Chain A
Amino acid sequence: MKISRRDFLKTTALTSLYFAGFGGISNANTGTKKNLVIIMLRGGMDGLCAIPVKGDKNFEKLRSKINLDRTLKLTSDFDLHPALKTFKSLWDQNLSAAVHATNIPYTGRSHFDGQNLMESGGKIPYQEKTGWLGRGMKTAGLTGQGLALALPMPLLIRGVPMNNNYFPVGRSLPYPSTLELIKKAYKEYDEKLLNENLEIILTRDFNNRSSDDAWILASSAGTELSKPNGPKVAVFEVDGFDTHAAQGATDGAHADCLSDYDNIVRSLKSSMSEEAFNNTLVLTLTEFGRTIKQNSSNGTEHGYGSAILMAGGLVKKAQVHTDWPGLKRKELFEGRDLNSTIDSRAIYASAMSTVFDVDFKKITKEVFWGENLPNLSDKLFKA
């Protein structure tokens, strides 16, 4: 097998990082450090609420009670939900974009199965025990460079060893002298993994007494992602998109969730150095979109196609990339949902290829079992 210089450097980094946790390895030789942040939007994000289509009478009629009375302008075809203020200001600087009418290839409308598949990247629920992001990191040799802002390690990032996680416990650690004694005991009993993790805890900059609000976590993550030797991958979770009732319009329940997302992006932007943000890609991930038609509780039901919100300097340009399927009844999926015309795994594969500097084909082969996904890197991201 031919090994390129880049591969060689990665192999070197892998070995050392395994023992060093987060410390010590310089990225100086591998060019600029690039970051990938995934924000999981659990519950089914309504792509048509975040990015409504303009001037579709049928759509307005079907959503008479939950139409937005105020929107932010994006393009001639699409508007933006007013809760997405940061997204809009980034858009104006060519630092955010969206893909519309996209989803993972899952049509079952169960949160439980859908969330499993959006994380595993597979087609059969619960079959895979690792996540697409974890497998991608493994392919790229990114051991010890993942940061989950969650307590149990999300499935999404499983599949590569030595990920870090941060989810403040809200209490302070025992005294350093006590921790020293524990460390000594780990050493005496040759508990390598415990020792490595304790070393990470003792040397990292996180505040264990901080709040676990996502936007506060984002500020810590942003600082870490900006460090040359910090993590290259971060994962967030936002709950609550399952708005069966009182989804509302401009300031309904869905708006609150979109705000949660927007606050994470704002917090990342303000905590990251300009250079780091310019070399970062922040993508959303959800299990499905929601029905076109409002239900009798002024909410929406589980649907299919949704949208992916993208932010960061590695976004190619401000655009809504879509192969718009239309919203006429016969154009809808099963007569009720926005269809998905782009397999969202193509976007995630392209993002990993761009950020991790790994050949796209290699990603599809090792992460998505060789599925025939289109390479969208040039269309969506800066090389």
Chain B
Amino acid sequence: MKNFFRKVAYGIGPNEDVPSDPLNWALDQLNDIPDLSWKGKIYSEKELRKHYRDWVYNDREVLRKKYKDNKTLYKLNKDKLRHETGQKFWESLEISIRHNEGINSQHPVLAKLWMFWGNFFAISEKDFLANYSTGPYHREIIRPNLNQSFEKMVYDVTTSWAMIHHLDNSESAGPKSVTASEEWRRRKKEPASINENHGRELLELHTVSPKAGYTQEDVIQLAYIMTGWQHRWSKKNLETGNVWFNSEYHQRGKKTVLGKEYKKGKKALAVVIKDLVNHPNCRDFVAERLCRYLITDEPTKEMKQPIIDAFKKSDGFIPEIHKAAIKVAFEYNDKYKKFQTPENWLIQIAKLGNLQWPPSPDEMASYELGTQPSKKQRSPEKLLRNIGHHPYRAKQPNGWSDHSDDWISPELLIRRLVYAKASYNFSKMENNKNASYYESIVEKNFDNPSKIMKYLNQKNRAVEKHTLLFNHPEFLKA
């Protein structure tokens, strides 16, 4: 039963008591969205986007021109600009805030679900989004919506700067729009055309999924509805301006998506999102993804049904969807054990092992803009890349896989082996002297402590006990 604390969160830390009522312990964390528990400074999305702007503007408009004949000087000055805009630092700070929420907050269950939605509405590795924008997108767009409706979540995600940039909607112009007949388009041979990316992903990944049976024409029609939602472009800010609805890019006339007609204009997006989130396939898809994340690669109909029902009954109120999912996870806890993805695994090691992870707020606060971050300050970004699971750097818009097989390959297994071993280097002094360190971890987190202890005691050195514990099949799954 104790695997439940890792299934829906990150396990029980050494200074925590094992909750006597696990289900209610979990459910109680889902109603409100508390402030992040990170004690250091947290930067706003806009502030960080300003750095993004300084980076692209100065690279594109200044350095490329100034050093067009000298690749060495160009590279040198580009590196300087990277540090001036904190390009090598922000994502490590964001990962620290994220991991701290799983390890040190009072709401680790909410944290695990926050990470779920961040991957559900993934911003994958594109341009410099991971460096400046994906972390704040998770904090400012995904997180505040964890006690709102799914409909609001989808709308906020769809109109967020990060997603608009990620899926190119700024480049989408209606062939029957005001801009289509502009003189410069004829001159430059750039006819107005749509970019379907965002429309397609809104259907496929963010709402109804391909099971809804939409056609390519539905994708095109939805892309038409979305024309005009773009960055406010300016010479000074380039693509980093705020999102607005530019009616000059909007496709004229009515559109039809999944058999329903929509009027032209700004409001149509909210209307079509409302219909999409109320489509039966959307509920099924959300339930499927939640079950796959928490419980098993192959969710059953019985598993999904209570989540689908809660979605329907509450009109997509996310805390109710969460509660239903957690209840199902509790109910199936002993029957199904889910192989944990590398990031989940890493956070659990840090929590159970009481490691010095993530770097402390003081450590991160000592960073000075314009300088190269220290090895320690960059360690979160490096470590997550090295384990092959950086949450802001998925390769595709569908995010990281939650199928177990995708996380088992020779190199990925090597990562588990060597980083379980390396985790010993993050131990706190007090634990090294604590004779009952392993007993306490095992007692709190495993149902069969004597068996696990017997396994660990086959080796004497702590570094090997770390390696064994964090690669034990019962730890790899939850």
Q: Which of A166, A167, A208, A244 contacts B64 (CB 8 A)?
A: A244
Asked whether A174 lies within 8 Å of B464 as measured between CB atoms, the reply is yes
Is B468 at the interface (CB under 8 A from chain A)? Answer: yes
Q: Is A383 close to B, CB under 8 A?
A: no
- Select from chain B the residue with minimum beta-carbon distance to A294: B68
Q: Is A298 an interface residue (CB 8 A)?
A: yes
Of the 9-residue stretches B230-238, B364-372, B394-402, which lies at the interface with chain A?
B394-402
- Chain A residues with CB under 8 Å of B42's CB are none
Docked-complex contact B68 and A245, CB < 8 angstroms: yes
Residue from B60, B197, B409, B458 in contact with A125 in the complex, judged by beta carbons closer than 8 Å = B197
Chain B, Cβ-Cβ closest to A200: B410
Report the minimum CB–CB distance from B466 to chain A (whole Å). Answer: 10
Asked whether A174 and B68 contact (CB < 8 A) given A116-B396, A169-B386, A194-B473, the answer is: no
A204/B200 in contact, CB under 8 A: no
Which of B271-279, B285-293, B318-326, B416-424 faces chain A?
B416-424
**Could you say which interface size class chain A belongs to?**
35 or more
A124 to chain B, nearest CB (A): 8
Contacts of B472 in A (CB 8 A): 182, 185
B411–A166 CB distance below 8 A: yes
Q: Name, among B67, B74, B455, the residue most crowded by chain A CB atoms within 10 Å (CB to CB).
A: B74
B1 within 8 A of A: no
Report chain A residues within 8 Å CB of B406.
Answer: 153
Q: A110-B168, A171-B422, A178-B459 are in contact. Are A197 and B398 (CB under 8 A)?
A: no
Q: Tell me the total A-B contact number using a CB cutoff of 8 A.
A: 131
B68–A197 touching, CB < 8 Å: no
Q: Given A182-B468, A296-B65, decide whether A151 and B412 contact each other with a Cβ distance below 8 A.
A: yes
Cross-chain contact B415 with A248 (CB below 8 angstroms): no
A298 near B409: Cβ-Cβ < 8 Å: no
CB interface residues, B 174-197, toward A, < 8 Å: 189, 195, 197
Which chain A residues lie closer than 8 Å to B455 at the CB level? 181, 185
Nearest A residue to B71, CB-CB: A246
Q: How far is the CB of B273 from chain A (nearest CB, A)?
A: 20
Describe B's contact surface by its main secondary structure: helix
Is residue B33 within 8 Å, beta carbon to beta carbon, of the partner chain? Answer: no
If the complex has contacts A182-B417, A246-B68, are A193 and B408 also in contact, measured as CB distance less than 8 A?
A: yes
Q: How far is the CB of A352 from chain B (nearest CB, A)?
A: 22
Contacts A113-B197, A174-B417, A201-B414 hold; do A151 and B388 have CB atoms under 8 A apart?
A: yes
A191 vs B64: C-alpha distance in the bound complex, in angstroms?
A: 53
Is A334 among interface residues, defined by CB-CB distance under 8 A?
yes
Q: Given contacts A126-B397, A297-B64, A334-B189, is CB(A173)–CB(B69) below 8 Å?
A: no
Give A244 to B459 CA distance when docked, in angstroms.
Answer: 56
Residue of A nearest to B61 (CB): A297
Q: Which one of A163, A208, A299, A335 contacts B409 once the chains associate, using CB atoms below 8 Å?
A: A163
- Known contacts A116-B396, A181-B455, A244-B64; 12 further A-B pairs (Cβ under 8 A): A126-B398, A153-B406, A169-B386, A169-B414, A169-B418, A171-B422, A178-B468, A181-B468, A182-B417, A185-B471, A191-B476, A201-B417
What 3 A-B pairs are tightest by C-beta distance, nearest first? Answer: A245-B64, A297-B64, A189-B473
- 13 A-B pairs whose Cβ atoms sit less than 8 Å apart in the complex: A108-B195, A161-B405, A165-B410, A166-B410, A171-B421, A173-B414, A178-B459, A179-B417, A181-B459, A197-B410, A208-B414, A244-B60, A256-B71
What is the interface of chain B, defined by CB distance below 8 A to chain A?
60, 63-65, 67-71, 74, 126, 168, 189, 195, 197, 200-201, 204, 386, 388, 395-398, 405-406, 408-415, 417-418, 420-422, 455, 458-459, 464, 467-468, 471-474, 476
